[in-house]
Amino acid sequence: MGCAATVSGCNSSSSDVEVVPPTPPVGSDEKLNWSACLVNCGSNCPVKVYSKDGVITRVESDFTIEDEYGDHNVRACLRGRALRKRVYAPDRLKYPMKRVGPRGSGQFERISWDEALDIVADKLQNTIDQYGNESILFTYNSGAAYHFSGKQCLYRLMNLKGGYLNTYGDYSWAQLYKAATYTYGSARPGWKGSSMSEMKNSDLVLMIGYNPSEIRMSGSGEAYDFLMLKQQNNFKTILVDPRYTDSAVGKEDQWLAIRPGTDAALIEAIAYELITNNRVNQEFLNDYCVGYDENTMPAGVDYSESYKSYILDNPTAGDMTPGTNAKTPAWAAAITGIEENVIIDVAEQLANASAPFVQIAASLCRQAAGENNTRAGYMLPILLGQIGLPGTNGGGLCSGSSFSAPKMPTGSNPVGKKISFFTWTQAIEDGENMSVLKDGVILPEDQLDANGDGKLGHNVKAIINYAGNALVNQHSDTNRTTEILSDESKCEFILVVDNWMTPSAEYADIVLPDVSWLETEDLVNQSYAAGDTATLVQMSTGVEPMFESRPIYDVCVDLAKRMGVEAEFTEGKTREDWLNEFYASAKAAQPDLPEKEVMLTQGVYRKYLPNGSYIVHEDFRNDPVANPLPTPSGKIEIYSERLAELSQKWDLADGDVISALPKYVPTWDGYEDAATKDDYPLQLTGYHTKGRAHSSYHNVPWLREAVQDAVWMNPIDAQQRGLQTGDLVRIFNDRGELEVPVKVTPRIMVGVTALGQGAWVRFEGNIDKGGNLNTVTSQRPTPLSKGNGQHTNRVQITKA
């Protein structure tokens, strides 16, 4: 924005500043529609879209009511406010295209929709006929969270044609799901903890890796909830993070800078202090837990295998004398970089708190030992017995409020096989030999041998990529990924449906242009991390789909016709029938939801805590017999017999550990990895920036100006390398090399660097000039979830 937009002249004094009038209301020649930002940040914020003569003129956020917390506007962040630039981006896909050069060359030719759909239907049917449905894979996708249209339509189509290879887990929470399952019995408590509103009943909030001010920024989201609750209740806040994030600035009482991947060591040292000073809740551990000490071990398992024995390094029950390998604060200080006296002080603060609210972020699970990092974090509220009570949390991500809004039914997938979302590149090259005990493949019972093992038995031959950039950009080790995809003899067909020519779209055989969010109608629910305000947004549009773009629902109807399942796909309903049916279902669940005609004008339906504040495990705490957890024991499992069995049966790579107890595990490319420490002395971790949600919005120049893509480096590390802020640097290891500017700042600890993830890869020769973190990340899966350890990296950084 130029200065003339706000003042009478650039050199004017403050007294000459003109008062900017409020945004003018919709004029007689202008049309207002409501839409939403459906990017995967966890919010789905509403936006007001103004258009004139079929062209979007401006996009505004929700300012419709008095902004009093608890009855406040659902304001979009800078990403949602930049939607007009995103819709009209120069790289917007305009029409169907067919690849005419080598994969990845970016050489495409324009074709008609009829030709494109004929090719897609033919390729998918031929793949099914030649290799079977299990050879077709959907790569992970989250770039368009529609309810009616979107990826659900493609899943529905493929299920009607016999299904596709299933996947489990995702790039965000794969290890977290497993940690929650083996501790609390299901994945849900891992990412559905207490409501954030419970912080008002807490006197100490401990956030390990959690950064709402940069990843949950909407006006009804967790960042706003946290800020308002902090201001109103003034609870003490401790943040543990390698970076001094925007969630800390002015809001934290204490920042603990920790080396990436060492969180479990910190927690074990805190546990040592709690145990040796008799500050654990022994009654809670006896009644609600399995595996803490000699009183709570499973039948036939000795005390020496207990958590207490592990922390104290003392295999003799009843003896509190620590062994030489006890997990003391001095031991943890050398690993984590946090001083011994600070660890002791934090343990005392937790023990003295009347209601500590402990939140373990998903960032901990994106490490090479992410499962154990997260399981270890759960131990803090467990040891203190601070679970199921007002003001507490079991360590999970906060539960957001939500309404009921149906999604397009996908039907059941006849293919019973599953692989980890992260091992799809392996499944292209060697899927036929991937197995249950080595690669985490899930097979139907009748396909397992006597040892519970079995092989996937086939390679991936076709990929469908809808509204996702994990085909290339968001997957690990970009050089290796593109090498695999470039070989057309391996994966024989790739379909990409998107709005823009992303790095993933460049590797498609057929590209189909989808409509953008602002060009469609839908009723969408506030997403999984929207905080304590539940919201429904009635999306509509005043502009036609740009160029030749088409909604994926209409595309799937035409594909279903070509593949012989049109009647089953549509169920005889029109688009309008589906939309009206969905709205009626939402209104039945929320009777005071206005009629659809009203919502088309009103746009937003919101309520703060519609079901009240939620305390995770409250029923279990009140009556563990009547409300057991879905673990084999019905209790919290500190020691997991299931994991003990897996640790003996699974074929693990050297250095990988599955343990019955949550334990700190030094890993490949971790802080203690001697094999890489000399050549690559810096740890490099990723983080989410305000300018992108994953890789979405990277193609909006405004946002790249607002949030610079630069690697953070401590001044001491920078001085050793002769670097200053703004210098172009090389970041490299054995996997690849990229170039970005450096940001020299004391807001990151010595020996650690950080780069915002999601920048679009752009190779010039062998060097990524786009600044994509995954140029240097590893495809090695984690031990238990077979997930992504993308924040575990060793690199060297020099001036370019």
Domain boundaries, the chain: 97-165+415-514+549-571, 674-799
C-alpha count within 13 angstroms, C-beta hemisphere, residue 110: 6
The CB density around residue 728, as the number of other CB atoms within 10 Å, is 13
- Cα-based angle 248, 366, 700 (whole degrees, multiple of 5): 70
What sign does the CA torsion over 730, 241, 70, 67 have?
A: negative
Residue 485: Cβ-neighbour burial (10 angstroms; 0-12, 13-18, 19+) = buried
How many other C-beta atoms lie within 10 A of the C-beta of residue 556? 27
Q: At what angle do helices 340-352 and 370-384 cross, to 10 degrees?
A: 50
Joined together, the tokens standing for residue 411 give 């039907």
Q: Which two tokens stand for residue 646?
A: 């897996």
Query: What count of residues does the chain have?
Result: 800
Q: What is the pLDDT of residues 11-33, one digit of tens each?
A: 333 334 344 444 566 766 899 99
Residues of the chain with pLDDT under 50: 1-22
Per DSSP, helices labelled H in 134-221 are 151-160, 174-184, 188-191, 212-215
Dihedral Cα 585, 589, 595, 599, nearest 10 deg: -90
What pLDDT shows up at residue 528?
86
Angstrom distance (rounded) from CA 59 to CA 77? 12
Assign residue 391 a region (left: φ > 0; alpha: ψ between -120 and 50; beta: otherwise): left
Residue 198 DSSP one-character state: G
Domain topology for 674-799: Barwin-like endoglucanases (2.40.40)
Q: What is the CATH number of domain 97-165+415-514+549-571?
A: 3.40.50.740
pLDDT of res. 10: 33
Query: CA 758, CA 773: separation in Å to the nearest integer?
Result: 7
Q: What is the pLDDT of residue 28?
A: 67
pLDDT attached to residue 526: 86
**Residue environment code for 287-301, b if the CB has 16+ CB neighbours within 10 A, otherwise e:** ebbbbbbeebbbeee
H helix intervals, 320-361 = 329-336, 340-352
**Strand residue runs (E) in 619-727:** 636-637, 682-687, 711-713
Angle between helices 263-276 and 340-352 (to 10 degrees): 60
8-state DSSP, 434? -
Spatial CA neighbour of 475 closest among 754, 138, 171: 171
Residue (of 295, 329, 330, 288) closest to 309 by Cα position: 295
The answer to whether the CB of 625 falls within 8 A of the CB of 750 is no
pTM above 0.85, yes or no: yes
Alpha helices for 670-792 (secondary structure H): 674-677, 701-706, 715-720
- Spatial contact of 193 and 397, defined as CB atoms under 8 Å apart: yes
Non-local CB neighbours of 180 within 8 Å, separated by 6+ positions: 186, 187, 188, 189, 190, 191, 374, 378, 396
